[in-house]
Structure 1
Amino acid sequence: MIQDSSQQRRLIERFAFLRDGGEALRETFFAQAKVATLPAEHIICRDGGQCSQLALVLAGTGRVYKLGENGREITLYRIEAGQSCVVTASCILSQRPFPAFAVCETEVEAAVVAQGDVQRWLTSSSHWRDFIFAQVAERIGEVFSVLDAVLFQPLDQRLAALLLHRARRSPKGAARGRILRVTHQELAVELGSSREVITRLLRDFEKTGALLTGRGQIELLDPSILEAR
């Protein structure tokens, strides 16, 4: 049960189905859901695990990834504030095991909905149903983008795009867009590659004057070179 008025207000602000679904849906949701906080690096679900709850993220970021037999990871998508994990929803509805790993990338605060409520509200609330289906459509697009990149885009282009994306999302400040706090291993995990290959590509970028690598960080010197790549 969610009785805290500030939590209720934040949920209504984050999720349109609560704003638009009417007082009855809000009362039902707040009576049945609960808010949980999970620490960074907490494993939410493992490959082959059963899903009994659906989390709606209020704050923080979760990551869903696939782990290959060779030990390499590739990120399928992230779950941020105002979103939910559609793979979890799919597993709840189909009664099938979770086909990937889900982990808290940062501390995550989320409203947690039980399996029975997820299923029941799909029938009783069009606003809840629209929310779930919209999440499915968005995530399918993201996963296909990952597949397209892995299958058809050279790794150096994917790395350049990832560095530019991280720069655009850097916290505001004097060094925004210049200093990326990230390791070669983290980039390798993100792209489904190895640390050695990523290090070689970063050295190639460094030779062109695009960036400068340091311990646990990368400084972008000329982003236009990465954009051209």
Structure 2
Amino acid sequence: MKEELLATFSNHFEKPLIDEIMEEGRLMEVPAGETIMDIGQYIRSMPLLLSGAIKVLREDEEGDELLLYYLEQGETCSVTMACCMGQTKSEIRAIAETDSRLVMVPVQKMEEWMAKYKGWRNYVFESYQNRLNELLQTVDSIAFKNLDQRLVDYLKKKVEVTNDNQIRNTHQEIAYDLHTSRVVVSRLLKKLEKMKKLELHRNYIQIVNL
């Protein structure tokens, strides 16, 4: 695990901090599709993503989901961090988009390292800023973009985080992420196929030229 930590976080963290993460952190290996944390849970530790990708979702009162953002290698979830620090229940759901490896850091160490390590403080503040920017982009997308463009942006991000031009989500799963209906998603995907942007297959979507 130390080699992975050094490769992923050496630009952020001091060596003594990486040594402490090695000592205090717990390695998790999560297969694609598995829920890492769920709405309503108390969070006792914060994830540092060594490899893979995680999607973070919000749920409304009727149980419909909306994709907020993805976490990629070297990132953490600031919403989780806030819940840890405030000892409140999680308001998000985190699901492994691909097979992922994480180090779970105990909440008490997060507070200690804020005072002890400049690298940790900078990483935490940078994470908050990055997640805020992504949340603003999500709000702007919902408020100002039509669903056609939101779907294209969604598919592009999928390809980016999975490093795969084949998207294996069902039309219904995509509809959940975009907070719309399966019928609308299917219609828009057909439209993109006619434009030669993608190809629809039985079990996957082949991205051609988005």
TM over 0.5: yes
Deviation at 1:201, TM superposition (A): 1.7
Q: Please say if residues 30 and 96 of structure 2, whose CA atoms lie closer than 8 Å, have aligned partners that are also in contact.
A: yes
Deviation at 1:170, TM superposition (A): 6.6
- Please state whether the residue corresponding to 2:68 is helix, strand or coil: strand
Gap runs ≥5 in structure 1 = 1-6
Q: Distance between the aligned counterparts of 1:113 and 1:209, measured in 2?
A: 45
Correspondent of 1:46 among 38, 45, 50? 38
Aligned in 2, Cα 1:200/1:52: closer, same or farther, shift over 3 Å? Answer: same
Q: Distance between the aligned counterparts of 2:161 and 2:4, measured in 1?
A: 23
- Tell me, yes or no, if structure 1 residue 204 matches structure 2 residue 191: yes
- Please state whether the residue corresponding to 2:90 is helix, strand or coil: coil
Q: Distance between the aligned counterparts of 1:79 and 1:170, measured in 2?
A: 11
Gap runs ≥5 in structure 2 = none
Q: Tell me the TM-score normalised to structure 2 length.
A: 0.88
- Please state whether the residue corresponding to 2:39 is helix, strand or coil: coil
Aligned in 2, Cα 1:210/1:39: closer, same or farther, shift over 3 Å? Answer: closer
Q: Which amino acid aligns with 2:192?
A: F
Aligned in 2, Cα 1:151/1:215: closer, same or farther, shift over 3 Å? Answer: same
Deviation at 1:105, TM superposition (A): 2.1
Q: Please say if residues 72 and 161 of structure 2, whose CA atoms lie closer than 8 Å, have aligned partners that are also in contact.
A: no
- Tell me, yes or no, if structure 1 residue 62 matches structure 2 residue 54: yes
The number of residues matched between the two structures is: 209
Deviation at 1:47, TM superposition (A): 1.4
Q: Distance between the aligned counterparts of 2:91 and 2:161, measured in 1?
A: 29
Q: Distance between the aligned counterparts of 2:69 and 2:12, measured in 1?
A: 22
- Tell me, yes or no, if structure 1 residue 17 matches structure 2 residue 9: no
Correspondent of 2:81 among 89, 110, 113? 89
Aligned in 2, Cα 1:169/1:66: closer, same or farther, shift over 3 Å? Answer: closer
Deviation at 1:39, TM superposition (A): 2.7
Q: Please say if residues 72 and 194 of structure 1, whose CA atoms lie closer than 8 Å, have aligned partners that are also in contact.
A: no
- Tell me, yes or no, if structure 1 residue 161 matches structure 2 residue 156: no
- Tell me, yes or no, if structure 1 residue 190 matches structure 2 residue 177: yes
Identity %: 29
Question: Which has the bigger relative contact order, CA under 8 A and spacing at least 6?
Answer: 2
Q: Distance between the aligned counterparts of 2:151 and 2:73, measured in 1?
A: 26
Counterpart residue number, 1:216? 203
Q: How does 1:98-109 map to 2 (within 5 A)?
A: 98-109=90-101
Q: Which amino acid aligns with 2:89?
A: P
Aligned in 2, Cα 1:52/1:165: closer, same or farther, shift over 3 Å? Answer: closer
Aligned in 2, Cα 1:95/1:190: closer, same or farther, shift over 3 Å? Answer: same
Q: Which moved more, 1:26-35 or 1:145-154?
A: 26-35
Q: Tell me the TM-score normalised to structure 1 length.
A: 0.81
Deviation at 1:219, TM superposition (A): 3.8
Deviation at 1:209, TM superposition (A): 4.6
Q: Distance between the aligned counterparts of 1:156 and 1:56, measured in 2?
A: 33
